[in-house]
Amino acid sequence: MKAPKFSYVRAESVEHACKLLAEHGDEARILAGGQSLIPTLNMRLSRPALLIDINRLEHLAGAIFNGKEVRVGTLTRHADVMLSHMVAKYLPLVAEAIPHVAHVAVRNRGTFGGSVALADPAAEMPACLLALGGRLVLQSVRGTREVAAEDYFHGLYQTARAPDEMLIEALIPPQTSDERSSFKELSRRHGDFAVAGVAARARVKSGTISNVRLVYFGSEVKPTLAKTAMAAAEGKIWNDATAEAVSTALASDLDPMDNLLGKPATKLHWQRVLTQRALDDITSKAKAA
Amino acid sequence: MTGTVTPKARLTPHDRPHSYVGRSLSRAGAKRAVAGKGRYTDDITLPRMLHAAFVRSPWAHARIKGIDIAAARKAPGVRVVMTGAEVAKLCTGPWVGTLTCFPTMKSAPQFPLAVERACWHGEPVVMVIADTRALAEDAAELVEIIYEELPVTVDKTTALGPGAVVLHPELGDNLAFEKTIDIGNVDQAFESADLIVEETYDFARHTAVSLEPRVLLADWDAASERLQIWTSSQTPHMIQHVIANTLGIPDHNVRVVAPDVGGSFGLKIHTYGDEIATALAAKVLGRPVKFVADRLESFGSDIHARENLIKARMAFTKAGDITAVDFDVVAGAGAYSQYPRTSVFEANQILNITAGPYKHKHYRAKATVVYLNKVPSSQYRAVGHPIGITVGESLLDLAATKLGIDPLEIRRRNAFPDAAFPTKTASGVKLADMSFTRCFDVLEKSIGYRALRADQAALRKQGVYRGIGLAAFIKGTAPGPNGYYGVGGAPISAQDACTIKLEPNGGIICAVGVTDQGQGVNDVMQQIAASALGVEMAAIRIISGDTDATPYGGGTYASRATAIGGEAVHQAARALRAEVLELAGVLLQAKPETLDLISGKIVDAATGMERLPLREIGRIAHFQVGQFPNTVHPQLSHTRRFRLLDDLYIFTNGIQAAHVEVDMETGFIKHLKHWVVEDCGRVINPQLADEQVRGGCVQGLGGALYEHCVYDENGQLINGTMADYLTPMSTEMPDIVVEHVVTPTSASELGAKGVGESGTGAAPAALMNAVNDALLPFEARVTAQPITPESILIALGRV
Ligand SMILES: Cc1cc2nc3c(=O)[nH]c(=O)nc-3n(C[C@H](O)[C@H](O)[C@H](O)COP(=O)(O)OP(=O)(O)OC[C@H]3O[C@@H](n4cnc5c(N)ncnc54)[C@H](O)[C@@H]3O)c2cc1C
């Protein structure tokens, strides 16, 4: 459990980091919180030649609302997302999800951008980004581009980010006052990656739900927008019949992985239960408001 | 002070003013550990020290066709690279993990590293010694081994069937051990039964996961031909012998020191090839060599345990009396029987203790232990008990439901009454000094049993499903000399010893054969010594874990430290006390019977008046011994040994209860609260005893809910990391209420029984019974551990 040899450079600026990424390509890795990267090095599961440490680029940390959207810097620690007033005010879905991310010690080091860059299928932040229609800002020596969350997550640890690109920040539209959101997940122990989970949002008007967005994670290879289930719920009163229709539709949206955490049928079952609970939660939050 | 003390009221070690027995003194070692000042083996760095890394088999079964170490040998910092064959040549011979107390058992010879064949995924094959562990790992990657992959045997239920791959052809088949107990007339009892309940229970393999992994540092002194070992061990004397014997060094020229040990749970009472090879490397190179098992190699080389499949049935009368028990255990051992304690103990223990609290008379139990291409299995905390207790308690609940009897009542009805002891279980083990009746009463009150049942019924109507699970138990502690191990030919002592010495300034040095793994054994020994002797705690220094400095002993395992080692301390301290009073009598010209030693002072027994401080005895007896007449020869040092006589164990008893809530939609379990009422005899330090019980419960609950070494059909261990292997964590664990009923053992004067494993033994049974109680309205049951949310959904027919 000792990492193989690697070189280490502390990035002086984003440009410096991008230059190094351009030079070393897939041989280099950005080092953010290190909570996922360092274990893979120690287990010799990955052996990059160069680590580019961005921890001193403090301007990449923090969440602000610029009047249009919330910008979450890549280096924002999970712990700071949890404490952020901006997040609490404009992104209640993220605020509800973040306590599910790992444990205190890991949240103190682990970063928002690290989680997005890694794209673990059970990670909470990617699911929230997709549910909220966020965009990701990527920079390289070739320039800067924005990628919508829907186009960013490609598969198991696969994203739209090119090897020479660095993730800079996420741009997330604020949740509107007439919508409600809910975040539900199941994990074997608190802080473990989820075995199933849903990030849900909708507008609720006199019992009718619209603008429904349901994103599933944990069971799928990547955060997954459940379009058929969303259509089945859209414009409907949230009742047993709608729940049934959504539950049925979910089977065509999801393709759960078969692994140690459960069989595909079990995971589909869990996602159905969580969907029911999330939409119950959304409608009861609407009632309470 | 006026002397109104009558001779009859003379103080005993347990009620003197400074008696420490029965008091929750905080652990001296705790402060040190919390402050980061602990000194574990890996904290020791010696000049010129080298580090070992091992190349381990990626296959569960493979012939080693060739090994090319040329590139590794040339790698930076590498001092030596040794193959299994080279290591074997330097050993006096292979080990064979059999004991004569298991007459029918067989096992194949085993060397420290695999020689011609690797028989499990993770078996060490090549050792690399380099300047740092990182360099050793770099070089290990350069070793090229040509394997011919062989078919495997990984399923214990087919391991003896036709066509099964035989792991060790010289043994003929994969059978390690077979044993049947058949008492009374079981068939007839089943024929005439009013009710028969029958189920099959499946227990998954798991492992101990100590916080501090296995670690060994060896230093060969060529000048004196002595080998010094520091290692994280529970049993320094056993390890001394095994290393000495394997390396061909006289035992007394091997010194084994166990510094601070960060948890052990039975995993550190065994012999591991990588550790022996490390010691060998130190001797070959003439330089200190350290090996620290990392977490990945721990999963693939620390002993595993608990893999058992049990088909069981129980016969009852209508009134709820157990009339017969019948079960069949198939245990999956690993590739070899673990030396020197064997891999068949667990199954044997299941035969001893299943349905042990109850007074049935017809008992048949069969154990079949088979070899598999997996990590060798062996003794781990509460050996066999979680399995045997689950089987017995689960069948009992099943019958209670069918007969419409309350689970607590059916236990009361069947358990041996407190007046019955000493007695014997149907399986033939002796039980003495027990207290089921009182324990059941205490538990009933403690959990508010009736109210909890009423609450359960009310909540069910609201769709909240809670369950209450009970598990009564017997637990074998403090093994005697006529059962297993030593008597079966293993270099393991069933006695333990204490040497206690009075120093010139009145300080006491107390060297013990038992060892401390962080649970506070040393503190408990100190409390016992201080109380028996009559001095303050601070006057005593305990030495343990050093074969050069302590009398020979078995070490700490099988809940024996306090029961056996503690009694040796008690006796040695009493011997020293008697001598001190003799010497004081001479100096004070008083009869020793009229004197007492209290809080480090010689006092007049009748009046309590101080006559002489203890340190004066020390000073005079060491420095001015001429003050004594020529007929008096102060010894000031006393060794006492203690062992059980004929008994197999000192059995303890008790009952546990679990309260859970099951989410019937997701299958997730919330463990609301847990209770333990147990009888470990005299409680030396209530806080330490309680924490042993709590920690034990958590370890048991880990097995019941989470822990599982998962093998695929090719014998690959597929979840050997802390990310994939789930251990219990504090957030999921309930509050655990611990209470003691005290029936001192009649086997010793101190009266202490073992306490370290009873939590582990019965917690899984209580938990499983609670889950099944919650599932009762759905007519669903789970019978496999760990109980996963998915397994509950399957039982409910929801997936
Ligand atoms: C015990 C434990 C439990 C955990 N549980 C959870 C959980 O429940 N949910 C969850 O979501 N996560 C969990 N995690 C993961 C944790 O959230 C990680 O911190 C996170 O996934 C990665 O963030 P990091 O800053 O540590 O990234 P690092 O480990 O530093 O990097 C991860 C990867 O992302 C790349 N990277 C990082 N930043 C950038 C960037 N700006 N541009 C390009 N590439 C970049 C790195 O090169 C690397 O490949 C857990 C981790 C642990 C150790």
What is the CATH classification number for the domain harbouring B668? 3.30.365.10
Summarize pLDDT for A13-63 with one digit per residue, the tens: 999 999 999 999 999 999 999 999 999 999 999 999 999 999 999 999 999
Q: For residue B353, give the nearest of B373, B383, B314, B323 by alpha carbon.
A: B383
What are the chain B neighbours of A270 within 8 Å (beta carbons)? Answer: 666
- How far apart CA B386 and CA B705 sit, in angstroms, is 13
Q: Which two tokens stand for residue A105?
A: 């010690």
Structural domain range at position B515: 495-642
B538, part of any domain: yes
Same domain, A164 and A71: yes
A235, part of any domain: yes
Low-confidence ranges of chain B (pLDDT < 70): 1-11, 17-18
Same domain, A120 and A39: no
A234, part of any domain: yes
Same domain, B102 and B244: yes
The per-residue pLDDT for B13 is 73
Judge if the beta carbon of residue A18 lies within 6 A of ligand 1.
Answer: no
Query: Of B247, B267, B301, which residue sits at a domain end?
Result: B301
**Backbone conformation region of residue B215, classed left if phi is above 0, alpha if psi is from -120 to 50, else beta:** beta
Question: Which residue among B296, B668, B799 sits closest to A265, beta carbon to beta carbon?
Answer: B799
Query: Of B301, B330, B347, which residue sits at a domain end?
Result: B301
Question: Which residue among A5, A186, A191 sits closest to B668, beta carbon to beta carbon?
Answer: A186
Sign of CA dihedral A130, A135, A140, A143: positive
The per-residue pLDDT for B4 is 41
B33, part of any domain: no
- How far apart CA B586 and CA B747 sit, in angstroms, is 34
Same domain, B631 and B710: no
Same domain, B122 and B253: yes
Query: Of A172, A194, A209, which residue sits at a domain end?
Result: A172
Strand residue runs (E) in B285-404: 289-292, 304-305, 308-316, 322-332, 362-370
Same domain, A194 and A270: yes
CATH number at residue A48: 3.30.43.10
Same domain, B146 and B281: yes
Cα–ligand 1 centroid distance for A160 (angstroms): 17
A2, part of any domain: no
The per-residue pLDDT for B6 is 41
DSSP B754-784: --SSHHHHHHHHHHHHHHHHHHGGGT----E
Query: Of A172, A191, A218, which residue sits at a domain end?
Result: A172
CATH number at residue A247: 3.30.390.50
Summarize pLDDT for A239-286 with one digit per residue, the tens: 999 999 999 999 999 999 999 999 999 999 999 999 999 999 999 999
* Residue B742 near residue B681 (C-beta atoms within 8 A): yes
Judge if the beta carbon of residue A114 lies within 6 A of ligand 1.
Answer: yes
Strand, coil or helix: what is B598?
A: strand
B16, part of any domain: no
Q: Is the peptide bond before A174 cis (omega within 30 degrees of 0)?
A: no
Summarize pLDDT for A164-204 with one digit per residue, the tens: 999 999 999 999 999 999 999 999 999 999 999 999 999 99
Same domain, B108 and B228: yes
Query: Of B627, B642, B657, which residue sits at a domain end?
Result: B642
Same domain, A36 and A67: no
Judge if the beta carbon of residue A81 lies within 6 A of ligand 1.
Answer: no
Answer whether 0.95 is exceeded by the pTM: yes
Q: Which two tokens stand for residue A178?
A: 């007439």
Same domain, B636 and B656: no
Judge if the beta carbon of residue A115 lies within 6 A of ligand 1.
Answer: yes
Same domain, A75 and A115: yes
Same domain, B420 and B392: yes
Please state, for a pLDDT cut of 70, what percent of chain B lies above it. Answer: 98
Q: Which two tokens stand for residue B363?
A: 């008992």
* Residue B88 near residue B276 (C-beta atoms within 8 A): no
Structural domain range at position A236: 181-288
The per-residue pLDDT for B10 is 57
Same domain, B213 and B285: yes
Among protein residues, the one with the nearest Cα to ligand 1's atom 6 is A102
**Backbone conformation region of residue B523, classed left if phi is above 0, alpha if psi is from -120 to 50, else beta:** alpha
Count of structural domains, chain B: 3
Which residue matches tokens 């291409």?
Answer: B373
Nearest CA in chain A to B134: A2
Find the chain A residues whose C-beta atoms sit closer than 8 A to any C-beta of B. Answer: 1-5, 39, 43-44, 186, 188-192, 195, 260, 262-263, 265-266, 269-270, 273
CATH number at residue A143: 3.30.465.10
> What is the ipTM, given to two decimal places?
0.97
Same domain, A187 and A266: yes
